[in-house]
Amino acid sequence: MKKLALHWKILIGMALGVLFGIILSFFPFGPEFIKDYIKPFGSLFINLLKLIAVPLILASLIKGVSDLKDISKLSQMGGRTIVIYLITTLTAVSIGLVLVNLIQPGKSISVETRQELVEAYASDTKEKQEAAAKQREAGPLQPLVDVVPSNIISAASDNRNMLQVIFFALFFGIGMILLHEKTVHPVKDFFDSLNAIILKLIDLIMLSAPFGVFALLAALVVEAPSLELFQALALYAITLLIGLACMILVYVIIVKIFTQRSPSFFMKGIAPAQLLAFSTSSSAATLPATMECVEDNLGVDEEVSSFVLPIGATINMDGTSVYQGVAAVFIAQAFGLDLSFTAQLGIVFTATLASIGTAAVPSAGIVMLLIVLAQAGIPEAGLALIFAIDRPLDMCRTIVNVTGDAAVSMLVGKSLGKLKEAQKA
């Protein structure tokens, strides 16, 4: 029998978790049994994701920034690439925030169900509310001060200080770029190897995802058995899918405006890579196919594609950016937390930086979401609400990530006169 793909295993885990939770909820001992003997496995899975967050940020970001050493030779191309990537990432986060504030999927949860959620995660919620209150009492420039750590070891020991870890990783990577390659070669080799090890650890962690999802869903059913919670999750998924579709539309529009290529030409040309991205949920695994599509079908010169696309697979995660904006506000709405405009601006900034450090592997985005939640003062335990349906949504997010890389490569190629005339209609 052919081995099942991970996403099918996770979907099966979801279904079995819901079914198991429903069945045991009819027995007097059921909820207590799940709480004592099933839910801890879900907590273990969440802890594993948290465990990998700091080393993932350090290794992935430092490697990604240090890889930009080619910018000394291709400064014009590198500058344009980074600027366009940052613009599309900011656009993606903004689209996500606008949609989640308009649709408000988390607000569909009643006061009673919300109270059950708050009680289920009482200690975590109280801690975040106290931290948020403390933040409001601070001066207007305190968030800027908080970005720069006084001690990187201390910052790296607490997931709530992820923005400080990101700052250090960026600063460290810039220092590597400014030094001679021979000087930093041993350090770069170390972080390249560390990054590879971290990605392998994520693979190992994701092997336990079906069991983690089973435990999370079973606990969710008995702790908040209201049907409206699942309706809210469906509305959350719809909101995210609309955001991803909007981002695809943005790519089509900018390709049409700046390269004069038709939407059908662009979408047909990148379709093979999109299908592979959907099946693998990995921008890195899709990279060879993306390069082939961009060069052969879209007419981008190899010099441009070989520079722009690998960087994009590291720092351009627009699908993940849409997701982080939608998910963060949805969880806040589910817990009855009203995020101020300033807090949502912080989500834009943090999600943009976090997406740069998101590894191009399946489900790495949900690890980065922890950064956004912690920085915005949103209960991290709320991650359990959305993780159960994250895998199929992750497959859709990867399509957007890959499509964005292709669109940016066309823009950069056009601006440098390295985009061939369209051969296909």
**267 vs 279, more confident:** 267
Residue 28 neighbours by CB distance under 10 Å = 7
What is the pLDDT, as a whole number, of residue 148? Answer: 83
Residues 218-230 pLDDT 10s: 887 776 545 666 7
pLDDT tier at 129, thresholds 50, 70, 90 = very low
What is the pLDDT, as a whole number, of residue 248? Answer: 94
pLDDT tier at 319, thresholds 50, 70, 90 = confident
What is the pLDDT, as a whole number, of residue 108? Answer: 73
Residues 251-264 pLDDT 10s: 999 999 988 888 88
pLDDT tier at 74, thresholds 50, 70, 90 = very low
**187 vs 164, more confident:** 187
Rounded distance between C-alpha atoms, residue 208 and residue 420, angstroms:
46
Domain coordinates in residue numbering, the chain: 6-415
> Which parts of 104-180 fold into alpha helices (H)?
111-120, 122-137, 142-147, 152-156, 162-178
Which is nearest to 77 in space by CA: 308, 421, 410? 308
Rounded distance between C-alpha atoms, residue 232 and residue 8, angstroms:
23
Rounded distance between C-alpha atoms, residue 248 and residue 7, angstroms:
23
- What's the whole-number average pLDDT of the chain? 77
Phi, psi of 300 (to 5 degrees): -85, 135
Which is nearest to 359 in space by CA: 246, 251, 281? 281
Query: What is the DSSP track for 291-334?
Result: HHIIIIIS-B-HHHHHHHHHHHHHH--HHHHHHHHHHHHHHHHH
The answer to pTM > 0.75 is: no
**Domain 6-415 of CATH type 1.10.3860:** yes
What is the pLDDT, as a whole number, of residue 296? Answer: 83
Residue 100 has pLDDT above 60, yes or no: yes
Residue 353 has pLDDT above 90, yes or no: no
State in Å, rounded, how far the first CA of the chain is from the last one: 42
Q: Could you tell me the sign of the dihedral formed by the alpha carbons of 71, 74, 76, 81, in that order?
A: negative
User: In 3-state terms, the chain is what percent helix, strand and coil (to 5)?
Assistant: 85, 0, 15
Q: CB–CB of 405/290 below 8 Å?
A: yes
